[in-house]
A and B are shown apart, each in its own frame.
Chain A
């Protein structure tokens, strides 16, 4: 163990260098907008751009909606499969992994084919319909992360016995899910929510092909037209993502504690 320690530090150091150098370089580049020195001009330019505010707001709203819809679908599904239909668990796990296997571009072409103006559900015929479609697409995109977070949460509590205890006290399934299960896996749900948010906020393919004014296409557009702002945007995106990850870490401290004591 002790002999392996220097190697562990070397590998850790290489990893840090590999990940941090591009980030530091990007950050420094983003400060070089002014020729005579370092400044935050690129950031001021980005924050002053009305499209930055509107696209970020749009992505935040769609992200929150995707989280709400995802939570409403995934929690009952994972709960029912874990308690009542355990034989379906592997199938569900496979289905939730599909968004990682199928490229988003394939998914979005599927949506366009299924929900175009001449289909039975012509969601793409209006902006609002396309917003709904994009929200649903993000729910699917975040499914692997949301399902795994919720499933891990269910595994960490004895959902089966807690449900039976609540049932014997007269509670029905809806009450059990929202009063017993959700509060006890809240941190896991929040983790899934922040992962969803982090994915959605910079997503490009789906938003672009569905022609929605999201933050991802804005990043791409700025990248092709400007020099320093894209670097500033990249740093801002990283900060948003890290913020989401930091919140997951912070919230795990508030998880309800269990105690299997024998004394």
Chain B
């Protein structure tokens, strides 16, 4: 991580008797793109709003470049923000919206005009100056909102689920554009989302939150492949869970739906006959199985053809069903419903998770 630009220190936020943010500390590097990811009510938006100055922390500090801004009002923080509902001023044209922050700052007219033109070029909407928000599509409105937030050259940028109100296709193209602009300007950015795919695709680092706590902070690759808690593993991406019983703890053999196999590791407290569970990503499970794989036999319970990927559900017995992702191969049709299959799992892909 580059030099720390924003620092959240032991942030706590309480509404009445409910604590929605519980002692959160997080350093954010200069120019970094950090996503706060979590389900509704996990406290991610509250953190963003505290950084913006719309909520005051119950305790803790917010520092920007080492200076405490916790007590500073929102209009003095010089932090740009983009909202889920666009929040463009309906009475102003595109140019009026983008230039608003500069007008508030008392910038000369010529400077406002040149900055508006520059911003419109940046978001690819040159020539749209005179249009009004109602004349723009949702994606265009959100791009104008981004330009408006960036026009006064803020110290950092906050994005509060800016893509949630958009159609799927626009969402993907706009998130790519947001990342491109962020890289070009090198502006420190915090992005709030509940969409794991969005967070994985756009971020330098992801902060996974649950019930007011930070569960894990890390790069997308790390979060996805090495989740530290069950919550992170289940919330970020899909996860298979196999449950069985320990046959011989010393030999690390377990029985899963009557199939006895040797696993790479067992939880520390495992004893003979005790229940045990393992988790793995759908893409870690292969049809057939290779050398060194843990091999299990099952029956195809469902086939979902998704185009480039085929998702299978395989019943291993009465208690376990696995999701399995395999790439589409034009020469080989997917197995049929009810067909017996052998599946392989690389032992290194099996996750033994703490709670």
Contacts and interface: CB of A to CB of B under 8 A. Distances in A.
A184 B88 CA distance: 11
Nearest to B49: A164
A175 to B, nearest CB: 7
Contacts of B85: 158, 161, 260
B354 interface: no
10 contacts: A157-B90, A161-B83, A164-B54, A164-B74, A164-B87, A166-B104, A184-B91, A259-B135, A259-B141, A262-B167
A183 B132 CA distance: 14
Interface string B60-92: 000000000000001111111101011111110
Contact of A164 (B81, B91, B101): B81
B133 A169 contact: no
Given A157-B90, A172-B75, A261-B137, A165 B166 contact: no
A85 interface: no
A171 to B, nearest CB: 5
Interface residues of B, number: 41
Contact of B89 (A166, A170, A262, A263): A166
B309 interface: no
A158 B53 CA distance: 19
Contact of A168 (B75, B89, B132, B135): B75
Interface string B153-188: 000001000000111001000000000000000000
A169 B137 contact: no
Interface in A208-263: 256-263
Given A172-B75, A261-B141, A184 B134 contact: no
A170 B104 contact: yes
Nearest to B168: A262
Contacts of B167: 262-263
Contact of B133 (A158, A180, A183, A258): A258
Contacts of B165: 260, 262
A258 B80 CA distance: 22
B74 A168 contact: yes
Chain A to chain B: the 3 pairs with minimum beta-carbon distance, closest first: A169-B101, A256-B90, A165-B87
Contacts, number: 96
B81 A168 contact: yes
B105 interface: yes
Interface in A172-187: 172, 175, 180, 183-184
Contacts of A54: none
Contacts of B91: 180, 183-184, 256
B33 interface: no
A164 B83 contact: yes
Interface string B117-152: 000000000000000111111110100010011001
Contacts of B152: 169-170
Nearest to A171: B104
Nearest to A172: B75
Find the residue from A167, A169, A183, A260 having the highest chain B CB count within 10 A. A169
Contacts of B88: 165
Contact of B90 (A164, A166, A258): A258
A164 B45 CA distance: 14
Contacts of A158: 85, 87
Nearest to A255: B90
Contacts of A172: 75
